[in-house]
């Protein structure tokens, strides 16, 4: 009994703390809140946005998670905005910064400060279709299979080391809405799964050779 209680107390002290950055509707944030937050030692300890009216902020508030807004226009430049945001994140004692539809480029200083501690989700099988409108790019290219990628963030656009990928078949009829629905449903499974693996300490950057991710079973 005593041992069990001690273990639980220890688990709460060493919770894996994440902050989510989101600019839009926040359905990936919602999946993380529903499937991860408060379980297996993972805590969402903050949600920040560049958009004061982002629906993601309402979702966070609904879950009792603290929020902050860092609009670009409130700061001299992107570096200053990101420095303020980094300070807020660090004050929360964060293990991982999770980008979930965050539509701003991060400054190199921000990426360096949280090196290998920032992840992003992208609606394509990177390195194919990086950047904006990856779903539209897949349809325009005429592929039959696209997918979802979770990756670490580096200084490039969608260029960081890949953690997990899952394929998605383009639905017959190649309807954009139908493809979006299946891609998003896949994201909502894959992102919590990848973050849980990181929280469990199973994901690391290879020590030698080209920068790549090693998953420990």
CB of 1 vs ligand GRF, minimal distance in Å: 42
Site string for ligand GRF, 119-138 (x = CB under 6 A): --xxx---------------
Pattern 177-216, ligand GRF, x by CB under 6 A = ----------x-----------------------------
Nearer to ligand GRF, 58 or 83 (CB): 58
**Count, residues near ligand GRF per rule CB under 6 A:** 12
3-22 positions binding ligand GRF, by CB under 6 A? 22
Q: Which x/- pattern, by CB under 6 A, does the window 92-111 give for ligand GRF? A: --------xx----------
Which of 109, 101, 61 lies closest to 84, judged by CA? Answer: 109
Closest among 2, 61, 69, 59 to 27, alpha carbons compared: 59
151 is catalytic: no
24 touches ligand GRF (CB under 6 A): yes
Interface residue with ligand GRF, options 25, 104, 128, 137 (CB under 6 A): 25
Those residues whose C-beta lies under 8 Å from the C-beta of residue 49, and which sit 6 or more positions away, are 21, 22, 23, 56, 57, 67, 68, 69, 70, 102
Residue 203 DSSP code: E
Per residue in 139-168, is it b (16+ CB within 10 Å) or e — as a string? beeebeebbbbbbbbbeeebebbbbbbbeb
Q: Is 181 helix (H, G, I), strand (E, B) or coil?
A: helix
**Please, what is the minimum distance in Å from the beta carbon of residue 36 to ligand GRF?**
14
| Residue 19 CB, nearest approach to ligand GRF (Å) | 15
Q: Are 169 and 145 within 8 A, CB to CB? A: yes
Phi then psi for residue 39, to 5 deg, are -120, 150
Are the C-beta atoms of residues 89 and 110 closer than 8 Å to each other?
no
Q: Are 183 and 146 in contact (CB under 8 A)?
A: yes
Q: Which is nearer to ligand GRF, 3 or 118 (CB)?
A: 118
Active-site residue list? 122
Give the interface with ligand GRF as residue ranges (CB under 6 A): 22, 24-28, 100-101, 121-123, 187
């Amino acid at each position: 009994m005593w041992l069990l209680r001690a273990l639980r107390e220890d688990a709460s002290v060493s919770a894996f703390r994440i902050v989510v950055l989101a600019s839009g509707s926040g359905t990936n944030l919602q999946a993380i809140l529903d499937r991860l937050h408060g379980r297996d030692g993972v805590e969402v300890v903050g949600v920040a946005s560049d958009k004061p009216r982002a629906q993601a902020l309402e979702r966070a508030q609904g879950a009792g998670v603290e929020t902050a807004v860092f609009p670009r226009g409130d700061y001299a430049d992107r570096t200053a905005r990101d420095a303020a945001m980094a300070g807020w994140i660090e004050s929360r004692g964060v293990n991982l910064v999770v980008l979930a539809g965050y539509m701003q480029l991060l400054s190199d200083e921000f990426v360096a400060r949280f090196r290998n501690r920032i992840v992003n989700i992208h609606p394509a099988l990177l390195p194919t279709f990086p950047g904006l409108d990856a779903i539209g790019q897949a349809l325009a290219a005429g592929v039959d299979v696209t997918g979802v990628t979770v990756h670490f963030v580096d200084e490039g656009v969608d260029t960081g080391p890949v953690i997990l990928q899952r394929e998605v078949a383009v639905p017959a009829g190649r309807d954009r809405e139908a493809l979006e629905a299946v891609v998003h449903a896949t994201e909502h499974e894959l992102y919590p799964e990848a973050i849980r693996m990181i929280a469990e300490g199973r994901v690391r950057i290879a020590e030698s050779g080209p920068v790549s991710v090693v998953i420990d079973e």
